[in-house]
Amino acid sequence: MPDRAECEAVVRQLWPFVDGIVSESQREFIVRHLEQCAPCADHFDFARSFLEAVAEAKPYFDVDAGLSDRVMAALGQEGFGGGGGGAS
C-alpha cells in the first residue's frame, strides 16, 4: 500500500482528475495509485458518483448563476482544487 503522503497527493488531485484536467503524467500516477490503494479508489468512486448524481439532478432545480462558483470556491478552500485559494 502506498504511503500517506502519496495518498494525500492523489486525493487532492481527484476532482481535477475526474474532470480530465490533469497532465498526462499526473493521470498515469493517479491511475497507478488507484489500482494499488483501495481507500483512495473509494474516494475516486465517491467523486465520480457525486458528479453523476449532480448531473442527473441538474434539470430538476433552478439555481442562481453564482452557485457553481460558490461551491467550487468552498471545495477549493477545503483542499479539493478548483479555486478559492485552497491547496490544489
The whole-number pLDDT of residue 1 equals 64
CA 44 to each of CA 15, 40, 58, 83: distance values in angstroms, whole numbers, following the listed order: 8, 6, 21, 19
The whole-number pLDDT of residue 83 equals 41
- 34 and 40 Cβ atoms separated by less than 8 Å: yes
pLDDT tens digits along 30-66: 999 999 999 999 989 998 898 888 878 766 666 677 8
The model's pTM is 0.60
Place of cell 490544489: 88
Q: Averaged over 64-73, what is the pLDDT?
A: 82
